[in-house]
Amino acid sequence: MSFQVYIADKRYPAVGLDLLRKTTQTTFLTYLEYGEDSLKEIKNNIKGCDGLIWNTHHPLTAEILDLAGKILLLCPQLKVISSTSTGFDHIDLGEVKKRGIPLGYARLVLNNSVADVAVGLMIAAARRFKEGVINTESGNWELGAQWRLGQDITGSTVGIVGLGSIGQAVVRRLKGFDVAKFLYCGRREKPEAKTLGVQRVSLEQLLAESDYVILACPLTDETKELINANTLKMMKKTAVLVNIARGGLVEQDALYEALKENRIFAAGLDVVTPEPIPKDHKILSLPNCFVTPHMGGATMSNLNTKAIIAAKNILLGLEGKPLLYPVI
């Protein structure tokens, strides 16, 4: 039996497409990942699919699920969905679950590459790379080191909010930097923490004691704007905030004010709100805020691996088998 699989964005890698085309018909929906035009194209062309690969940052809503599944109550044609991302806060899990549709994702793929970027952001923000590049390129390179003094990682206390697989990978990398103490906070104890030498504390203690605060937790109702005007006041004036998770974890206006007034030393952000962020956004004007365009997982190896996992999730779901990495 031939199945129809829709892929939300045409930039899906050929290595995954080759797997799908052996047993299914595949249809791409759009090239454009952002903007109302691409979302309109998706809605106009998604009707009547058996499998859906959601490789876009557009929210997957009840409306789109209804369109994809034809007449939902009488003909629930949509049998399986897979995201190519490691997160799924852009998918309405309640609506997917209500329809009884298996949902897969690309679990564990990005751990190492995102951890690499976390360390890079720590160094870039703490050592004032943005200011240095601006001064160098503008011809204002000043002699002497006094104007560009930064913060050391050696001997520091590093606090990680969310000691999941990415947080653990960050700790392993930082072991070579002679960090004095690692702290973490989270909803439950992590058995790996003891082996890694990481102490569990409250969020309040972590913020008060850490020289570096690394956000590596999922975005949920509980963690939304976890870093806000109140929690920023708990941090050291010399602290560096690093966000490699989701922009929504941070109340961005509050962070802007804290950085502008030098109430914390610096921030390194690979995720912001919104994405893409406008070029004239005020947070980009700060010399002590180093921002990269959500590139933590952007390696060729990761891209291909995510495509393969998504394809395998879809093929297993179409056969009525358990998914490789299920969310639901």
DSSP 270-326: S--SSSSPPTT-GGGG-TTEEE--S-TT--HHHHHHHHHHHHHHHHHHHTTPPPSSB
Single-letter amino acid code for the residue at 279: K
Residue spans of the domains in the chain: they are 3-108+300-318, 111-291
| Residues designated catalytic | 294
Residue-level pLDDT at 72: 45
Q: CB-side exposure of 225: number of CA atoms within 13 Å? A: 8
- The token pair that represents 265 in the structure block: 């030393």
Residue-level pLDDT at 89: 84
pLDDT digit of tens for each residue in the chain (328 aa)?
589 999 998 889 999 999 999 989 998 887 665 666 888 888 988 888 899 999 988 899 999 998 887 544 444 689 999 999 888 888 999 999 998 999 999 887 889 999 999 999 999 999 999 999 999 999 988 887 677 899 999 999 999 999 999 999 999 999 999 999 999 999 999 999 999 999 999 999 999 999 999 999 999 999 999 999 999 999 999 999 999 999 999 999 999 999 999 999 999 999 999 998 999 999 999 999 999 999 999 999 999 999 999 999 999 999 999 999 999 8
Residue-level pLDDT at 76: 61
Residue-level pLDDT at 38: 84
Q: If DSSP codes are grouped into helix, strand and coil, which group holds residue 199? A: strand
Residue-level pLDDT at 144: 76
CATH number of the domain at 111-291, please?
3.40.50.720
The residue length of the chain stands at: 328
How far lies 303's CA from each of 160, 177, 299, in Å?
A: 26, 29, 6
H/E run at residue 83:
strand 80-83
Answer whether CATH 3.40.630.30 is correct for domain 3-108+300-318: no
Whole-number Å distance between alpha carbons of 268 and 249:
14
H/E run at residue 167:
helix 165-174
The two domains 3-108+300-318 and 111-291 share their CATH topology (first three levels equal): yes
